[in-house]
Structure 1
Amino acid sequence: MKTSNEVQLSFPYRDVQIKRGLDPKEEYDLQEELGRGKFGIVYRCTEKTSNLCLAAKYITCPKKEDRRNVEREVDIMRSLQHPRLIQLYDAFENGKVMCVILELIEGGELFERVIDDDFILTEKSCTIFMRQICEGVDFIHKQRILHLDMKPENILCLTKTGNRIKIIDFGLARRFDPDKKLQVLFGTPEFVAPEVVNYDAIGYGTDMWSVGVICYVLLSGLSPFMGATDPQTMANVTIAKYDFDDEAFNEISDTAKDFIRKLLLKDMTKRMSAEDCLNHEWLKRKKKIIARTPSMEVTKDNLKLFVERWNEHPNSPYVFDKSSQVIMPDQDDCPTSPASSLAK
Structure 2
Amino acid sequence: MCRTASALLTKCAIQKLSAKEGNKRERRRLKKIFKELSSRCALLDPGIDRDGFLRFTELPGLLGEQLFSALDRNGDGRIDIKEFLRGMLTLYKGTIESKAELLFKIFDFSKNGEITSEGILFIISYLPTTCSKCQKKLVVHWNLKEKIKELFDGKEFIQLEEFKELILTHSEIGELVLQCISNALPIIVDECLLPNRLVCESHLEITEGMLGFKGRTYYFQLKNQSLYYSTLKEDISNPTGIILIKDLFVEENGPLGFVLRNSKFRYEISTFSLEQRDEWIQTIKQANCFKNFYDDYEILDQIGKGAHGDVRLALSKHNGKIFAVKIISKAPLDDLAETRLRREIGILKLCKHEGLLELKDIYETADMLYIVTDYISGGTLFNWMKKRNFRIEENAAKQIIKEIASALQYLHSHGIIHRDIKLENVLVQRAPNGGGGIRVKIIDFGLSCMLGPGQNSIESVGTLKYASPEVLSTIPYRHSPDAWSLGVTAFILLAGKMPFYGKSDQEIASRIINKDIEMIGEHWEGISSEAKDIIRSLLDKNPKGRMTIEDLLKSDWLEEGEIDISKDVAELSWEII
TM-score, normalization by structure 2: 0.45
Amino acid at match of 1:74: I
Question: SS state of the match for residue 150, structure 1?
Answer: coil
Name 1:179's counterpart in structure 2. 454
Q: What is the rounded CA distance, in whole Å, between the counterparts of 1:213 and 1:151 in structure 2? A: 8
- Give 1:119 shift: 11
Could you tell me which of 126, 135, 140 is aligned with 2:411?
140
Name 1:155's counterpart in structure 2. 426
- Give 1:278 shift: 0.9
Q: Deviations over 1:73-94 (max 9, x none)?
A: 1111122111111101111221
Name 2:489's counterpart in structure 1. 214
User: Structure 1 residues 170 and 20, CA, compared in 2 at 3 Å: closer, same or farther?
Assistant: farther
Name 1:69's counterpart in structure 2. 340
Q: Aligned pair 1:279/2:554, yes or no?
A: yes
Identity %: 28
- Give 1:185 shift: 2.3
Could you tell me which of 439, 449, 472 is aligned with 1:197?
472
User: Structure 1 residues 40 and 83, CA, compared in 2 at 3 Å: closer, same or farther?
Assistant: same
Q: Deviations over 1:6-50 (max 9, x none)?
A: xxxxxxxxx999997454222221111111133111110022222
Could you tell me which of 323, 326, 334 is aligned with 1:57?
326
Could you tell me which of 72, 80, 84 is aligned with 2:351?
80
Question: SS state of the match for residue 241, structure 1?
Answer: coil
Aligned positions of 1:34-113 closer than 5 A? 34-62=303-331, 63-113=334-384
Could you tell me which of 152, 165, 169 is aligned with 2:444?
169
RMSD: 3.1
Answer whether contact 1:225 1:241 (CA < 8 A) is retained: no
Give 1 or 2: higher helix fraction.
2
User: Structure 1 residues 203 and 280, CA, compared in 2 at 3 Å: closer, same or farther?
Assistant: same
Name 1:239's counterpart in structure 2. 514
Q: What is the rounded CA distance, in whole Å, between the counterparts of 1:86 and 1:289 in structure 2? A: 23
Amino acid at match of 2:378: G
Answer whether contact 2:391 2:495 (CA < 8 A) is retained: no
Amino acid at match of 1:267: N
The alignment of Structure 1 onto Structure 2 pairs a total of residues equal to 282
User: Structure 1 residues 267 and 119, CA, compared in 2 at 3 Å: closer, same or farther?
Assistant: closer
- Give 1:114 shift: 4.2
Name 2:505's counterpart in structure 1. 230
Gaps of 5+ in 1: 1-14, 294-341
Q: What is the rounded CA distance, in whole Å, between the counterparts of 1:343 and 1:180 in structure 2? A: 40
Q: What is the rounded CA distance, in whole Å, between the counterparts of 1:286 and 1:76 in structure 2? A: 31
TM-score, normalization by structure 1: 0.74
User: Structure 1 residues 118 and 245, CA, compared in 2 at 3 Å: closer, same or farther?
Assistant: closer
- Give 1:343 shift: 6.6
Amino acid at match of 2:406: E
Higher relative contact order (CA 8 A, sep 6+): 1
- Give 1:281 shift: 1.5
Name 2:301's counterpart in structure 1. 32
Answer whether contact 1:19 1:91 (CA < 8 A) is retained: no
Answer whether contact 1:20 1:93 (CA < 8 A) is retained: no
Name 2:142's counterpart in structure 1. none
Name 2:402's counterpart in structure 1. 131
Amino acid at match of 2:295: E
Answer whether contact 2:343 2:445 (CA < 8 A) is retained: no
Q: What is the rounded CA distance, in whole Å, between the counterparts of 1:218 and 1:110 in structure 2? A: 10
Q: What is the rounded CA distance, in whole Å, between the counterparts of 1:195 and 1:288 in structure 2? A: 33
Q: Deviations over 1:246-267 (max 9, x none)?
A: 2211221110010011110111
User: Structure 1 residues 89 and 287, CA, compared in 2 at 3 Å: closer, same or farther?
Assistant: closer
Answer whether contact 1:109 1:343 (CA < 8 A) is retained: no
Q: What is the rounded CA distance, in whole Å, between the counterparts of 1:288 and 1:221 in structure 2? A: 21
